[in-house]
Chains A and B, each alone.
Chain A
Amino acid sequence: MEIYLPIAEISMNIVLLLGLGLVVGFLSGMFGTGGGFLMTPLLIFIGVPPPVAVATEANQITAASVSGFLAHWRRGNVDLRMGAVLVVSGVIGSGMGVLLFRKLRQIGQIDEFISILFVVFLGAVGILMAAESGRSIIRRWKGRSPGRMHAHYWVHGLPFKMRFRKSKLYISVLVPAGIGLFVGVLSAVMGVGGGFIMIPAMIYILGMPTSIVVGTSLFQIIFVTANSTLLHAGTNQTVDIILALVLLLGAVVGAQFGSRLGARLRGEELRILLAILVLLVCAKLAHDLLVAPLDPYSLSLVFG
């Protein structure tokens, strides 16, 4: 059964789209990620124009993050003060990201730019995750406990210090603001929530307690992706709400099963699996950039 997507201006198999939402939702429920870093490349693989894939995925992530955020909020796992700093900087960043996106689309470099960003970040995150979970698996075999993180870097010497009671931190506001800005730009350009960068940054750079990291990250993602959606719709008219709704429908169901299965699996094995998946998508994108295309010419409508 086909469904016509009014903004993408193509029809796609609704079972394929629901299935995609279900699988990515399942994985994101299992691993506790937003899933945008898998969904956006997969949408591009199945033929959704990249500008529509990115903008629509921002819209879908807003919805997916709301339900996740509410669950964390009820458990009190959100640092609102830290969240506010990340939101303000993230919204500015996503605004810059949409402008950058528009400029790159006008000069015809957006598709490759998105691919390169995905290759770099999926590659880096995939390798780090595989190495980290590999190490902890080996540690478990050897029966040693993990060593403690040292929480003092040069970042703690910066000015404009601010107290974040919930995170038990007294650090320069410039550090979370810088992270928020950076993730905001990436979020708007790549059509991701940015959790896969934000969460490691919160743990390893800011030194936030892991219990409040996911809830606070989701809080930021809601606002940043909402802003990206609004700006993409306002300036590029690339948000396809029909596509977003179909994907969301699959994703919410998938996420429920995923989180139930995820609770039964061990963390390290889970992360190794996710790392392999991330590296596979990365390899496919890298292959398309590096291997001579079958047809070096491409055709598109003049934009802007």
Chain B
Amino acid sequence: MIRGWNSKRQKLVSYVLIQLLITGFCLASELPVDLSKHNIAIQSSFTGSTVVLFGVQTATDDAGSNIVAVLSGPLQNLVVRKKRKTVGIWLNRSEAVFENIPGYYAVASTGPIHKLLEREVLLLYQIGVNNVALDLAGAIEGRDYGPYREALIRHKVQQGLYFAEPAAVDFVQAGLFRVHFTFPSNVPPGTYRARVYEIQKGKIISEGVTELSIRKAGLEERIYQTAQDSPWLYGILAVVLALLSGWLAGAVFRRT
């Protein structure tokens, strides 16, 4: 455990040194970052997972720098529905459809993000759970979609896929930082992208990007892919399996 940790850190530090030599300390340079793993497999015992993001600050002067990391997941089309009482029953009566919304979104930072960067920059780079671009499909002029946007974020937070507050950025030693990101069991499979920004006096001085792939694997992957790719074959298999297991169950208990 400890040894693995050290060798990982050593690898990272040497990687950083090489990076620095290549880029030659230029401005808005690349921020060296990496993840503890680049693949997460969803199998039968999957109950969620965590990933650790590492990085090294490029700022070496006394002023120091702040770090903001964003991890966002595969894009989804989502619908928010609102119930209203209709002849005594609470039924879905209105809806708003949002397109290309990150299925997962987490931020970590060394301080309150609105103090580190201008609001325009936060919106441009979609930093912070309330700055994620929530694009509507077919919005009606003059209708207030605010409550629908709030509901989308509220539900994502409840599902453990968005986080209301930024996570902490820990410093392992001077300049070397790490962030823990957690995924619940209902994490949407797909490609995840980590963007890390180093900030000095309200300006982004360097940034780094790395990716993570979350995929179903093994039997779960086979079952899911068969259901998606050949749904009728899957249906026939499900029926045959049911007939066989029903017959088997009957046969087993007839003997006892």
Could you list which residues of chain A lie within 8 angstroms of chain B, going by C-beta atoms?
1-4, 6-7, 9-11, 59-60, 62-68, 70-71, 108-109, 112, 116, 222, 226, 229-235, 237, 239, 241-242, 244-245, 248, 252, 256, 289-293, 295-302
The contact string, 1 if C-beta is below 8 Å from chain A, for chain B 113-150, is 00000000000000000000000000000000001100
- On chain B, the residues within 8 Å of A237 by CB distance are 227-228, 231, 234
Is B78 within 8 A of A299, CB to CB? yes
CA distance A239 to B234 in the complex (A): 9
The answer to whether B89 touches A116 (Cβ under 8 A) is yes
Report the minimal beta-carbon distance from A252 to chain B, rounded to whole angstroms: 4
Most chain-A Cβ atoms within 10 A of its Cβ — which of B85, B227, B232?
A: B227
CB distance from A27 to the nearest CB of B (A): 17
Among listed B20-28, B194-202, B240-248, interface-contacting one: B240-248
Of residues 74 to 89 in B, which have CB atoms within 8 Å of A's CB atoms? 76-85, 88-89
Q: Is B234's CB under 8 angstroms from A233's CB?
A: yes
The reply on B39 being an interface residue by CB < 8 A is: no
A6 to B42 CA separation, bound complex (whole angstroms): 9
Asked if B247 contacts A297 (CB within 8 A), the reply is no
Query: Is residue B152 contacting chain A, with contact meaning CB distance below 8 A?
Result: yes
Q: Are A301 and B223 CB-contacts (below 8 A) given A233-B238, A237-B231, A239-B234?
A: no
Judged by a CB distance under 8 angstroms, whether B220 is at the interface is yes
Q: Answer whether residue B235 sits at the interface, using C-beta atoms and an 8 A cutoff.
A: yes
Contact A67 B83 (CB under 8 A): no
Which of B219, B221, B245, B252 is packed against the most chain A CB atoms within 10 Å? B245
Q: Is the CB of A302 within 8 A of B79?
A: yes
Apart from A233-B238, A289-B90, A302-B77, what are 7 other A-B pairs with CB-CB below 8 Å? A6-B216, A256-B253, A256-B256, A297-B82, A297-B148, A297-B155, A299-B79
Whole-angstrom distance between the alpha carbons of A68 and B84 in the complex? 44
**A293 and B90 within 8 A (CB):** yes
Which 10 A-B pairs rank lowest in CB-CB distance, beginning with the nearest? A66-B246, A67-B250, A233-B235, A297-B151, A63-B246, A299-B155, A11-B185, A230-B235, A63-B242, A252-B249
A291 to B236, CA, bound (A): 41
Q: Is the CB of B46 within 8 A of A301?
A: no
Q: How far is the CA of A12 from the CA of B148 in the complex (A)?
A: 29
Count class of interface residues, chain B = 35 or more
27 contacts between A and B (CB under 8 A): A3-B44, A4-B47, A4-B185, A4-B220, A6-B224, A9-B186, A59-B238, A63-B246, A64-B246, A66-B242, A66-B246, A67-B246, A67-B247, A108-B79, A108-B92, A109-B92, A226-B242, A231-B235, A232-B235, A233-B231, A244-B241, A245-B241, A252-B249, A295-B154, A298-B81, A299-B79, A302-B97
* Chain B residue at minimum C-beta to C-beta distance from A64: B246
Q: Which of B46, B97, B219, B242 contacts A60 (CB 8 A)?
A: B242
Is B45 in the interface zone, CB < 8 Å from A? Answer: yes
A234 contacts B232, C-beta separation under 8 Å = yes
List B contacts of A11 (CB < 8 A).
46-48, 185-186
A119 to chain B: closest residue by CB: B89
Whether the pair A67, B249 counts as a contact (CB closer than 8 A) is yes
B242 proximity list for chain A (CB < 8 A): 59-60, 62-63, 66, 226, 229, 244, 248
- Are A62's CB and B185's CB within 8 A? no
Which chain A residues border B185 with CB–CB below 8 Å?
A: 2, 4, 10-11
B residues less than 8 Å from A245 (CB atoms): 241, 245
Please report the C-alpha to C-alpha distance between residue A298 and residue B133 in the assembled complex, in whole angstroms: 19
B95 within 8 A of A: yes
Residue of B nearest to A256 (CB): B253
A64 to B248, CA, bound (A): 11
